[in-house]
Amino acid sequence: MKQLRVILKVIALCSLTAFLYALWISVNAFVFASEKTSRGWRSFIFRKWAGAAAAITGMRTTVYGTPPRPPFFLVSNHLSYMDIIALAAHLDCVFIAKSDVARWPVIGRLCRSAKTIFIDRKNRKDITRVIRLIERSMSAEQGVVLFAEGTSTEGARVLPFNSSLLEPAARAGYRVSYASISYSAPAGEVPAHMSVCWWGDMTFTKHLLELFRLPEFHATLVFGEETFQEADRKVLADKLWRAVQSQFIPVVKKEEEEWSASIR
C-alpha cells in the first residue's frame, strides 16, 4: 500500500509540475508583453502549484496569525524543502536561496523560473546585487522570504540566525516580518523529524520517497504580529531569532514522545 502511495504521489506531482511549467512558458511567451502582467501570472501559477503540491503530498496546514501583505521581507526557521510549499501556498512571494541551488538539475531551473533570488554567501560583493533584486521584487508588490538559519534542521530548536544573510534587509532599512514552521506525523508513522524535516546528510531522493510513504502529515505555520527594523544586522538577527524561537513548536521532542508511546 505504501509503495503504491509513493508511485501515485510521484506521478501526480511530476504531472502537476510539468503541466503548470509548460503552461507558464507557453502563455508567457505568446500572450504577455507586460513585465507586470507576466509577474502576476507567474505568482498566480506558483501559488496554485504550491497549494496543489501540498494536497498531493498530504500536507495539512494550520495557520496562526496573519500572513503579511506584500510587499514584505520575512524570515523563518528552516526544516525542509516542504517549507517552500507551506509558505508559498499562503504568501505572494519569492525566496532567497544559496547560489548552489541554481545548479541543481531540474529544481534549479524551476527555481529560476519562479524568480528565486540566489545569493553567493562567500562573496560579500554579491550583497549589492541581492539588495537590488529584493528592491525590485518589493517594488513589484511581492514578498521576499529568507530562511535565516542558513540551513535546514531536525526541528529540535531554532539555530542562531546568520546575520550576514540579513545584511541586505539591514542596509536597505526594511521592516522585517517573521514566521515559524513546525511539522508532525501521524501516530505510528516515522516521526516528522526523520520523514519531513530534511537535514544532516540525508539525500534528497531517498528522503522524498520516505516523505511520500506518509498517508499525510501536519504543518503548523505561525506568523508573528510585529516587525523589526535595525541598521545593525547582528541586532536585527538576534531580535528576529528571539521572536521566532519564542513561538516555535519543537518537532523532535513532540515526535519522540508520540513515537515512543506508539511502540509500547
pLDDT tens for 128-155 read 888 888 888 888 888 999 999 989 999 9
- Mean pLDDT (the chain) is 88
Residue 114's nearest CA partner among 85, 90, 80, 151 is: 85
- Calculate what percentage of the chain has a pLDDT beyond 90: 61
**Bond from prior residue into 71 cis (ω within 30 degrees of 0):** yes
pLDDT tens for 37-72 read 677 788 888 999 999 999 999 999 999 999 999 999
pLDDT tens for 161-171 read 999 889 888 98
Assign 264 a pLDDT band (cuts: 50, 70, 90).
very low
Q: Would you list the domain boundaries of the chain? A: 59-262
- CA–CA separation, 195 vs 17, rounded Å? 22
- CA–CA separation, 10 vs 5, rounded Å? 9
The amino acid that residue 60 corresponds to is R
| Number of CB atoms found within 10 A of residue 4's CB | 8
Q: Which residues pair with 218 in a beta bridge?
A: 60, 184
Question: Would you state the pLDDT for residue 192?
Answer: 96
- CA–CA separation, 233 vs 239, rounded Å? 10
Statement: the pTM of the whole predicted model exceeds 0.75? yes
Within the chain, how many helices (H) and strands (E) appear? Answer: 10, 7
